[in-house]
């Protein structure tokens, strides 16, 4: 993505988000009436009203955060010191605070219970972590980052698709923190991941989604066909057995292992945030009145194989375990 386009996108989208937020608040009575009329016609209890409040909260957090980020840019000498350790710490604290507010209110309004299962990701404190999570929509990304920062005091380094940079807050914040927007078609993808994983300290967590995209039946079919075209018939058979996750693409994960030779690995599975990709998905499938579960497994570095082929087998073994766990742990409705 070229620098001029990058700047143009910020100049256009950031003011557009602020303007939309102001417009939504100015017309809120009309939105409330429309949502109240629609809610009895939709599944769930007051679905439209509850979803409207979450959208308003998200837009308000975005607009306020954009203003604060602009102020930090001025106070850092018009961006000259914006990537210094001092301002990096401020940005991490800012993100953690905003996510705490948003998740607290979203959980209250949507009546969600989020539980964690398995050993704490800090079973070995003082050790950098390489966190590999199943991918089933942007909801899992936000929930995972919130958990790592708020519950375990980790500073995440994130690898994510360049399409997410269309969100102006994500764009600005992650271009000021150790993170990388990547084009999955880029030829130097693994090199970028390995470079980002260098230099993790004791409170860092490098976050990667080995599947490379959200689970859909069509992506699952294409992934299996790609393995077949590469002549990896043993992997084809294993990928066909996975029904709730995509077969992992090991290149980026292996690059992260090479870039962070002292890091333990944490595997993460979750239920209840599946398939929330488009606005239509959110409207149809946004979980309400449910108990969601995140499952953590921490593997010490000394238990991870050294050879490339052995590591690929090890990763596929874990993804089969995650697939089984997802199958056996669907989200539960909370008692009314």
Tell me the pLDDT tens digit for each residue of 261-276: 999 999 998 886 665 5
Question: Are both 134 and 275 inside the same structural domain?
Answer: yes
| pLDDT tens-digit readout, 53-75 | 989 999 999 999 999 999 999 99
Question: Are both 103 and 129 inside the same structural domain?
Answer: no
**CA 228-230-231 angle, 5° bins:** 65
Cα distance between residue 53 and residue 40, in whole Å: 17
Distances (CA, A) of 37 to 41, 44, 47, 106, 243: 8, 14, 11, 22, 39
Cα distance between residue 84 and residue 202, in whole Å: 19
Q: Is the predicted pLDDT of residue 45 greater than 70, yes or no?
A: yes
Q: Are 111 and 288 in contact (CB under 8 A)?
A: yes
| pLDDT tens-digit readout, 219-248 | 888 888 888 887 878 888 888 899 888 888
Domain boundary (77, 110, 143) is at: 110
Question: Are both 43 and 158 inside the same structural domain?
Answer: no
Local structure of residue 193 (DSSP, 8 states): H
Question: Are both 83 and 99 inside the same structural domain?
Answer: yes
Q: Is the predicted pLDDT of residue 279 greater than 80, yes or no?
A: no
Number of neighbours of residue 144 by Cβ within 10 angstroms: 23
Half-sphere exposure in the Cβ direction for 85 (13 Å, CA): 0
Q: Is the predicted pLDDT of residue 215 greater than 90, yes or no?
A: no
Question: Are both 193 and 326 inside the same structural domain?
Answer: yes
Closest by CA to 158, choosing from 90, 202, 206, is 206
Q: Are 163 and 174 in contact (CB under 8 A)?
A: no
Q: Is the predicted pLDDT of residue 288 greater than 70, yes or no?
A: no
Question: Are both 46 and 125 inside the same structural domain?
Answer: no
Domain of 4 in residue numbering reads as 1-110
The tally of domains found in the chain comes to 2
Local structure of residue 302 (DSSP, 8 states): G
Share the mean pLDDT of the chain. 85
């Amino acid at each position: 993505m070229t620098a001029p386009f990058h700047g143009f996108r910020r100049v256009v989208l950031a003011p557009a988000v602020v303007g939309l937020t102001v417009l939504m608040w100015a017309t809120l009575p009309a939105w409330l009436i429309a949502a109240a009329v629609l809610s009895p016609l939709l599944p769930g209890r007051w679905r439209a009203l509850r979803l409207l409040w979450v959208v308003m909260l998200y837009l308000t957090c975005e607009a306020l955060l954009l203003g604060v980020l602009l102020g930090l840019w001025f106070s850092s000498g018009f961006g000259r010191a914006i990537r210094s350790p001092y301002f990096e710490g401020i940005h991490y604290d800012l993100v953690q605070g905003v996510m705490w507010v948003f998740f607290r209110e979203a959980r209250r309004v949507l009546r969600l219970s989020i539980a964690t299962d398995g050993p704490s990701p800090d079973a070995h404190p003082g050790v950098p972590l390489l966190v590999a999570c199943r991918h089933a929509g942007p909801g899992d990304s936000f929930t995972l980052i919130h958990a790592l920062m708020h519950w375990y005091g980790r500073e995440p380094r994130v690898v994510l698709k360049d399409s997410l940079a269309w969100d102006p807050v994500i764009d600005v914040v992650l271009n000021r923190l150790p993170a990388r927007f990547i084009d999955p078609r880029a030829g130097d993808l693994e090199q970028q991941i390995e470079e980002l994983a260098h230099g993790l300290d004791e409170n860092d967590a490098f976050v990667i989604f080995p599947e490379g995209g959200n689970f859909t039946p069509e992506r699952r079919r294409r992934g299996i066909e790609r393995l077949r075209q590469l002549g990896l018939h043993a992997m084809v058979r294993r990928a066909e057995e996975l029904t709730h996750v995509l077969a992992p693409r090991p290149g980026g994960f292996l690059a992260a292992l090479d870039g962070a030779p002292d890091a333990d690995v944490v595997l993460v599975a979750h239920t209840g945030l599946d398939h929330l990709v488009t606005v239509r998905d959110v409207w149809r499938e946004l979980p309400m009145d449910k108990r969601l579960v995140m499952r953590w497994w921490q593997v010490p570095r000394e238990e991870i194989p050294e050879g490339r082929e052995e590591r690929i087998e090890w990763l596929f073994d874990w993804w089969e375990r995650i697939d089984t766990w997802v199958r056996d742990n669907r989200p539960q409705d909370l008692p009314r």
